Chains A and B, each alone.
Chain A
Amino acid sequence: MKRQLILEDGHVFTGRAFGSKKEQSGEIVFNTGMTGYQEIMSDPSYSGQIITFTYPLIGNYGTNRSDFETIAPSLHGVVVKSLSPYPNHWKHSESFNELLVRFDVPGIEGVDTRKLTKLIRDKGTVRAVICNEETSVDRVIEQLQSENAAKNQVAKVSTTHSFSVPGSHGPKIVLIDYGAKQNIMRELLKRGCEVHVVPYNTSAKDILKENPDGVMLSNGPGDPRDIPECVDVVKSLVGKTKIFGICLGHQLLCLALGGRAVKMKFGHRGSNHPVVNLRTQTVSLTAQNHGYTIDAESLLHTPLFVTHQAVNDGSVEGVALEDGSAFSVQYHPEAAPGPSDANALFDQFLQQIRKPVKELS
């Protein structure tokens, strides 16, 4: 069955259908990782987006039960050059195609993904639709241009009820779920933490009532400016507990302390992004997935210091308060997929927790 991928600027790609056969629109982005399609497609940060995989052969090792980053993927579509018809791996339980059918996510195969990637790179992130061959291109473009990007992405992917996962003699962490990847939880549990997961809109008071040793601000989809209520919560938490933010969580911490978020042309999405630690001058290869970034200049008048910077474009990759009681990174130290180079940040968080809390003056 033939399908179309129509971009709001009028570019049309045709290809073969896989996954769900429904029509669905979303912001189209690309990811340059050569492995990890299962983790990527189940990462809630991709909620509402259509992902283009730049690696041309996807689905080689199928999918398995242990590599999900969320139970219910919420991405809006997948674009590949070719889908391996022959998944094979000892852990394999379901093909990538079957998985997309199960979660009702449309896919399109046979697309010149390199051409598409260059379009996204040159024009910035655009909106697109995966639809049937017969669908009118004009109708779709009109629809895309009138549509606004959804602003309630976090609400869609966050847990609705709080819940606890017991630890083993480790500190108690409240994980605010803006669309958290499972691996953040796994990293905390691995270190013996007791993790209490709360919905994104939980008040500071309710969080502090849990007497957490630290608060983890998770990753999540979309624009941090769309959730001012969350920024307020973070503002109230700073100085009262230890804070570690990842990705969207990082942006919220920056906004809470007076920083400014800006949209990037086409974002950072891949497993090969070098980040330099400005104190040690060492480089980590990191997994990244973000379309917004923090304006470095906006941080000059805040108590935050820039701790990490992208090697390639110099953008802000990490910040911290002087005493380290709150810190955050734009990238994904929990990996999955991607390198584990920055994994030690979780240890750093636990070290901070062992220090006494000082009130912020």
Chain B
Amino acid sequence: MHELGQPVPASDIVHSVEEGVQFAEEIGLPVIVRPAYTLGGTGGGIATTMEQLKETLASGLAYSPVDQCLVEQSIAGMKEVEYEVMRDRNDDAIVVCNMENLDPVGIHTGDSIVTAPSQTLTDRDYQRLRDASLTIIRALKIEGGCNVQLAHNPHSDEYYVIEVNPRVSRSSALASKATGYPIAKIATKIAVGYHLKELKNPVTKRTYASFEPALDYIVTKIPRWPFDKFSSANRKLGTQMKATGEVMAIGRTFGESLLKGIRSLDMKDDHLLLPRYENETDEALIHQWENADDERLFAVAEGFRRGFTVAELHKHTAIDAFYLMHIEGLVHLHLAINDAPWDAELLQTAKENGFSDSTISQLWDTTEGDIRAFRKQQNMTPVYKMVDTCAAEFASETPYFYSTFEEENESIKTEKSSVLVLGSGPIRIGQGVEFDYATVHSVWAIQEAGYEAIIINNNPETVSTDFSMSDKLYFEPLTFEDVMNVIDLEKPKGVVVQFGGQTAINLAEKLHEAGVNILGTTLEAMDTAEDRDKFERALKGLDVPMPPGKTATSVDGAIEAANVLGYPVLVRPSYVLGGRAMEIVDTEDELVRYMKEAVHVHAEHPVLIDRYFFGKEIEVDAISDGNNVFIPGMMEHIERAGVHSGDSIAVYPPQTLSEQTKQEVIRQTVKLAKGLGIIGLLNIQFVLHENSVYVIEVNPRASRTVPFLSKMTGVPMAQLATQVILGSNLTDLGYTDVYHPESDRVSVKAPVFSFAKLRRVDIHLGPEMKSTGEVLGRDLNLEKALYKGLVASGMNIPRKGNVLFTIADKDKEEAVRLAERYERLGFTLMATSGTAKLLQSEGVAVQTVHKIGEGTPNISSLIKDGDAQLVINTFTKGKQPARDGFRIRREAVEHEIICLTSMDTAFALLHVLEMMSFATEPVPRLERVQVKEGVQ
């Protein structure tokens, strides 16, 4: 960068406070202090005064094991702008898209709200950064795409280069969807030697790839964070990205773009002003403005509602006044709407600015349906505009649309009969990219069946939002209003909701009420599977056993229910996704705590209480056409019931189930599919308890395991289900078996976690899903498949070293067997006194180590110092982070040491290790042949 004359923030490595102060005097305050080799930047921070700097340096140097800190000029608070650039072998380079972060420098761009194109740069600012980006890509001689992150001083022409990613990045996907310019596709063609000027722009098909897209709309990206799942996680945003996914929204006004984005998040909040913020103190709000978390946007809006000024908000947030003034404008509009019920002109303004019918109905104290009817009566219906890369300069035929409240509609319904597929929105825990796989396969099947396939989705990271996948793509929020508007225009034959996860399923009821044809499994059938009481009745009617359970609407009711059922019990709120707020409870005290703290129980939101069966979990995905049922595959989970199915290692085909059990699972699956009236896909989870099979859960939709099973069995499940949904039957499609012949290879699906990035989250696995991704391993036997799966999931399998045991009482018996075998493999065992005594009494050699607080070396320092290669820690009750168990688990994660919290996973890893090891044992002693006396 220095050679190119491109400015980067000044920085230096210092070894003493004096050195640091001297450097800071040279470059000026504020500076960032980053201690070397500390995890998560412990001991560092921003210093705005010399006093602060001395303090921070002193602590940073103390924390750093090598006694050094990086002192860097702070550019926090500057405008953060990204340029997506492309270059070919001919040295021709272009900017595909520039994007400006609403959140200034200081928050990871993946955790920032982003607008495209930049909003606050003059042409000279824009060109200054463009020139810098092109200089960089040319100097690096990149052939393909490159991402350049820059900071621009909001008070001068000064700028800095923050980061250069010489590859296609997360931002490139966003830039591709934001502009319509397919960066990866063009980058690939460049890689094989094409020049930009000879490649056609695949959007216009008339112009060439060597041009810079012109947008005639505003794009907003909002990250989707996992904090609804990780209630204890540190939500503060900074340089470590925490979001699991993102949404994108397109609008012709800033408000339309921003508010559609908020709606797309698929949270409970569908607007800027949230009632729950009304009770916050001003101090709490100010704290939130200054320490950005995932909800800062809402806190800012609340500030404007209270009359804080743009200048004040700018002072506390450093967000550019442009954005703040627009947010303030939306808050004022919100208040104006509130004061003028049924004002048609104001409604028009509200719609142009992105307000949803639902928000307006709340303000006007009426129903969403009434607003919708009033709006239609006033002829206020959205039109759809095309994303065409060229701001309408050239005619295009891209089937890529977004809604807006303007005059001309560009999306013309074709003569062909169509089917609408609802996507699954942003990637989050429990609803990952697996659902997008199913959506895309469904689209292919719809096209194959001769229909036009239409997609609605809002996730820029997915394949389903690539406009070349479907016949028509609507980039829209997945709410009733936004979906209905598309349906009003397209009048599809029906809507497929099975592949869009819970997001799409949750829309089914309202769509059905509005007269929309839900294809496949009927709404009644879905409701039966999801409504606790109806489900129980249906299962009884079908004579399918399930763990006994009850519904409670009060704390007393819950206690009574648990007493009848017997502990342990599994408790959860009704209608949940990914096991949210689900817990296994052993005692009445714990139950009371759960009822009071974890859920807000009342008549409309009952809590479900089930007897908890500790046993092997079995999972099945099946397809039913109403008469026949086809099961492509059955999986058993390595971890026993109690660990969320998304977090457990699944094995296909089952390795330990008896033929009898399998037949029972098949029998019950068929019974359930037919009995519930499933048309299409369903997913069932069973538990094997004392040789009996019980149903735990039925999902009347495509599940997370559809891609895994499809790939491992070769059965195109989503396509097959779509054909069935569209009216074909399994027999005609050639699927006459009930159970697809099992593969002779073994496949495992292993979860991937992001614990290192989510501080304060307990990594212990339980009924709440925590994984953010998955990988698969396949081989001739289970151990080999597991090895591949575990390595692929990021586990660095140790061959030797120390294993640290901290085991809950209930697991101690199993722990002995486990420990013996680890010892036999040559591992050194370590345990705290209780566990150690037990192991020793069973004749296992183990070193006793101190507990935390008993002096060093203790269990915590062993992990910190790298003296433990594997930690096996089973759960001790109490979720308070202060508990020793929690600390041990966090230490392990932060020091990248494998920490297993389930005995089952520990055994699985043991099997892998045993498979990899060769025993060195003496050969049997040669027996002596006894010579019988007297024989001659």
A185 at the interface (CB under 8 A from B): no
Q: Does residue A113 face the partner (Cβ distance < 8 Å to B)?
A: yes
Contacts A67-B124, A88-B120; is A34 near B214 (CB within 8 Å)?
A: yes
Q: How far is the CA of A13 from the CA of B408 in the complex (A)?
A: 11
Which one of B10-18, B88-96, B561-569, B861-869 is at the A interface?
Answer: B88-96
Of A78-86, A154-162, A171-179, the one touching chain B: A78-86
A96 to B122, CA, bound (A): 13
**B828-854, CB < 8 A from A:** none
Stretch at the interface among A55-63, A221-229, A256-264: A55-63
B342 within 8 A of A: no
A39 engages B218 (CB within 8 Å): no
- Cα A340 to Cα B117 in complex, Å, equals 19
B321 touches A118 (CB 8 A): no
Task: Given A35-B122, A88-B325, answer yes or no on A117-B391 (Cβ-Cβ < 8 Å).
Answer: yes
Any A CB within 8 A of the CB of B130: yes
Rounded to whole angstroms, the CA-CA distance of A38 and B321 in the bound complex is: 20
Partner of B123 from the list A56, A67, A84, A85 (CB cut-off 8 Å) is: A67
Contact string against A for B residues 539-580, beta-carbon threshold 8 Å, 1 for contact and 0 otherwise: 000000000000000000000000000000000000000000
Q: How far is the CA of A32 from the CA of B215 in the complex (A)?
A: 8
- B395 interface residue per 8 A CB criterion: yes
A324 at the interface (CB under 8 A from B): no
Q: Shortest Cβ distance from B13 into chain A, in angstroms?
A: 34
* Residue in B124, B213, B216 whose CB lies within 8 Å of A56: B216
Q: Which residues of B contact A285 (CB under 8 A)?
A: 94-95, 210-212
Tell yes or no: A311 within 8 A of B by CB.
yes
- Is A276's CB within 8 Å of the partner chain B? yes
Residue A239 CB within 8 A of the other chain: no
Q: Does B254 contact A (CB under 8 A)?
A: yes
Q: In the complex, what's the smallest C-beta–C-beta distance from B156 to chain A, in angstroms? A: 7
Interface string of B127-148 (1 = CB under 8 A from A): 1001100000000000000000
- Do B206 and A57 have beta carbons less than 8 Å apart? no
A56-B210 contact, Cβ under 8 Å, with A89-B120, A282-B92, A338-B123: no
Contacts of B197 in A (CB 8 A): 274, 276, 283, 311
Is the beta-carbon distance between B122 and A91 smaller than 8 angstroms? yes
Considering the chains assembled together, what is the distance between the CA atoms of A103 and B147 in angstroms?
41
**Residues of chain B contacted by A276 (CB below 8 angstroms):** 197
**B154 within 8 Å of A by Cβ?**
yes
Q: Size band of the A side of the interface?
A: 35 or more
Interface secondary structure of A, over-half rule: loop
Interface string of A1-26 (1 = CB under 8 A from B): 00000000000010000000000000
Q: Is the CB of B122 within 8 A of A54?
A: no
Per-residue B-contact encoding for A27-71, CB less than 8 Å = 1, 0 else: 000101111101100000000000000111100110010010000
Check if A281 is an interface residue, CB within 8 A of chain B.
yes
Give the residue of A13, A33, A57, A273 whose beta carbon is less than 8 angstroms from that of B218: A57
User: In the complex, are the beta carbons of A56 and B408 less than 8 A apart?
Assistant: no
The A-contacting residues of B in range 303-325, CB under 8 angstroms, are 320-322, 325
- Whether A60 lies near B322 (C-beta < 8 A) is yes
| Complex Cα gap A64–B157 (Å) | 14
Q: Quick check: is B119 within 8 A (CB to CB) of the other chain?
A: yes
* Contact residue among B90, B130, B212, B322 (Cβ-Cβ distance under 8 Å from A282): B90
In the assembled complex, which residues on chain A have CB atoms less than 8 Å from the CB atom of B215? 34, 55
Q: How many A-B residue pairs have CB under 8 A?
A: 156
Q: Which residues of B contact A61 (CB under 8 A)?
A: 120-122, 322
The complex places the Cα of A82 from the Cα of B406 at a distance, in Å, of: 12
A318 within 8 A of B: no
C-alpha gap A107/B120 in the complex (Å) = 22
Chain A contacts of B406 at CB under 8 A?
112, 114-115
Quick check: is B623 within 8 A (CB to CB) of the other chain? no
Q: Which residue of B lies closest to A113 (CB)?
A: B216
Q: Assess the B391–A55 pair: CB atoms within 8 A.
A: yes
Q: How far is the CA of A115 from the CA of B406 in the complex (A)?
A: 9
| A75 within 8 A of partner (CB) | no
A312 in the interface (beta carbon within 8 A): yes
On whether the beta carbons of A56 and B322 are closer than 8 Å, the reply is no
Q: Is B155 an interface residue (CB 8 A)?
A: yes
- 1/0 per residue, CB under 8 A from A, across B194-218: the answer is 0011000000001110111111111
204-260 of chain B: CB within 8 A of chain A: 206-208, 210-218, 252-254
Q: Within 8 Å CB of A335, what residues of B?
A: 127
Contact of A112 with B211 at beta-carbon distance under 8 Å, contacts A35-B126, A54-B216, A86-B326 already known: no
Beta-carbon contact of A121 and B392 below 8 Å? yes
**Given A54-B392, A283-B92, residue A274 in contact with residue B211 (CB < 8 A):** yes
A32 touches B92 (CB 8 A): no
List the B side residues contacting A132 at CB < 8 Å: none
> Is the pair B408, A114 in contact by a Cβ cutoff of 8 Å?
yes
Find out whether the CB atom of A88 lies under 8 angstroms from the CB atom of B321. Answer: yes
Considering residues A34, A38, A61, A312, which has the most beta carbons from chain B within 10 angstroms of its beta carbon? Answer: A34
On whether A89 and B122 interact (CB within 8 A), knowing A60-B322, A282-B91, the answer reads: yes
Is residue B393 within 8 Å, beta carbon to beta carbon, of the partner chain? yes
How far is the CB of B18 from the nearest CB of chain A, in Å? 36
Which residues of B102-127 have CB atoms within 8 Å of chain A's CB atoms? Answer: 117-127
Q: A272 at interface (Cβ–Cβ under 8 A)?
A: yes
- In the assembled complex, 30 residue pairs joining A and B whose CB atoms fall closer than 8 Å, in A order, are A13-B407, A32-B390, A32-B393, A34-B117, A34-B215, A35-B118, A35-B125, A36-B122, A36-B126, A54-B392, A55-B216, A56-B252, A57-B254, A64-B122, A86-B326, A86-B329, A112-B406, A112-B408, A113-B216, A114-B406, A115-B408, A117-B216, A117-B391, A117-B392, A271-B123, A285-B94, A312-B206, A336-B123, A337-B123, A338-B123
Binding site for A on B (CB under 8 A): 90-92, 94-95, 117-127, 130-131, 154-156, 196-197, 206-208, 210-218, 252-254, 320-322, 325-326, 329, 385, 390-395, 406-408
Binding site for B on A (CB under 8 A): 13, 30, 32-36, 38-39, 54-57, 60-61, 64, 67, 81-82, 84-86, 88-91, 112-115, 117-118, 121, 270-274, 276, 281-283, 285, 311-312, 335-340
